[in-house]
Amino acid sequence: MEHPENNEAYKGLTVNAGVEQPSSVNPYLKDRPRRKKRELSVAEYVDGIVGGDVTILSQAVTLVESVKPEHQAVAQEVIEKCLPYSGSSVRIGISGVPGAGKSTSIDVFGLHVLEQYGGKLAVLAIDPSSERSKGSILGDKTRMEKLSVHPKSFIRPSPSAGSLGGVARKTRETIILCEAAGFDKIFVETVGVGQSETAVHSMVDFFLLIQLAGTGDELQGIKRGIMEMADGIVINKADGDNVERARLAAAQFRNALHLFPAPESGWTPQVLTYSGFYNIGVKEIWDMVYQYIDFVKANGYFDYRRNEQSKYWMYESINEHLKDSFYHNPKIQSMLADREQQVLQGNLTSFVAAKSLLDTYFEDLRKTL
């Protein structure tokens, strides 16, 4: 850059050229020796989890969520050895429309449950992942200010990672680890419900649906397949001027529930109103939850449901492994981009392209047998 002030006409005034802007990153950082983190053995993971060490529990959950094959192999061994210590908790699924106050309610619910019933509570909060960047904010914990510092609670946010049903694929395995670590109450919070987001129902004992007043009449309620799954519906923000609207919404949801077939459990879902912010009506909600648990344990539905869930997740695991096997097959990986381009250019229909890939995959499997 030319400085006119350095001209002979302005004697006595000199402006130096300056220096280049230094890098914002320390260039010597990569040369520093990094201390490699020691990897725990399967036995160390299991002993730490069973001993109630939340740090090792967190590391084990990270291992379960990893997509690396070597991590998955260790994670499956850890889960297998933790299975005898699991199954003794009460699992509560909490869902609702975005903005219904799920995270704030969990903060209040968690404190109430720990004070009234004792024990330990694990909260598995599933956060939506971006379809574009694949990233996730994992910010639900910030709205659980009191519960997050409670010594008997463990809050683990996880990305949904494109998983259908609003529940991370590995949530069920995380539940097993939390139970082995001595957590006898587990909350599973979904990403915010759509009309078909019901996978959480397949891993919990009680499914609580949080609704708001003014989100539609009972006909809108009927359209939501999730209502058929709910064991209890609660209308949040029933405070101040909103009390009457919340009561009216509760009456409309009760009318809608009468139009559904009776649940297998024999339980009639209840509709209650409460205010998570002002802590009004929380006791009644948890009286209802534990009343349901006692009811299904007495008629045998509790154990039947757990067995049905295990069967469901067996098939889900088969589907997951088949999908992984297909996409990691070297021949499929080499053909996939070409078939994709042909479909995009209109040279092949999507069905023909899919069939040719599947035929190649099955032929390759036959050769390896």
Q: What percent of the chain has pLDDT over 70?
A: 85
**Among 20-24, 88-92, 195-199, 255-259, the range of highest mean pLDDT:** 88-92
Same domain as 53, residue 195: no
Do 235 and 211 meet the contact criterion of CB atoms below 8 Å apart? Answer: yes
Per-residue model confidence as pLDDT tens digits over 68-111: 888 989 999 999 999 999 988 999 999 887 778 888 899 999 99
Same domain as 218, residue 348: no
Asked whether residue 257 is assigned to any structural domain, the reply reads yes
Same domain as 351, residue 224: no
Confidence band of 36 (pLDDT split at 50, 70, 90):
confident
Confidence band of 42 (pLDDT split at 50, 70, 90):
very high
Same domain as 44, residue 94: no
pLDDT higher than threshold 50 for residue 9? yes
| Domain end among 32, 53, 85 | 85
Token duo for residue 321 = 């492994």
Beta-sheet pairing, 153-159 with 232-235: unpaired
The CATH number assigned to the domain holding 242 equals 3.40.50.300
**Quick one: the chain helix, strand, coil %, rounded to 5?**
55, 10, 35
Same domain as 211, residue 68: no
Same domain as 164, residue 104: yes
The whole-number pLDDT of residue 137 equals 62
Same domain as 119, residue 78: no
Amino acid residing at 300: G
Same domain as 113, residue 146: yes
The whole-number pLDDT of residue 263 equals 87
Amino acid residing at 27: P
The whole-number pLDDT of residue 196 equals 39
Residues 6+ apart with CB under 8 A from 200: 93, 95, 165, 166, 167, 188, 190, 207
Asked whether residue 307 is assigned to any structural domain, the reply reads no
Token duo for residue 292 = 């349901």
pLDDT higher than threshold 80 for residue 216? no
| Domain end among 253, 282, 299 | 299
Same domain as 272, residue 155: yes
Number of domains in the chain: 3
Per-residue model confidence as pLDDT tens digits over 234-293: 999 888 888 898 998 898 888 888 888 888 899 999 999 999 888 889 999 999 999 999
The whole-number pLDDT of residue 159 equals 75
Q: Torsions phi, psi of 158, nearest 5?
A: -135, 145
Same domain as 64, residue 92: no
| Domain end among 299, 321, 345 | 299
Same domain as 201, residue 253: yes
The whole-number pLDDT of residue 268 equals 92
- The mean pLDDT value for 348-353 works out to 93
Range of the domain at 93: 86-299
Same domain as 105, residue 77: no
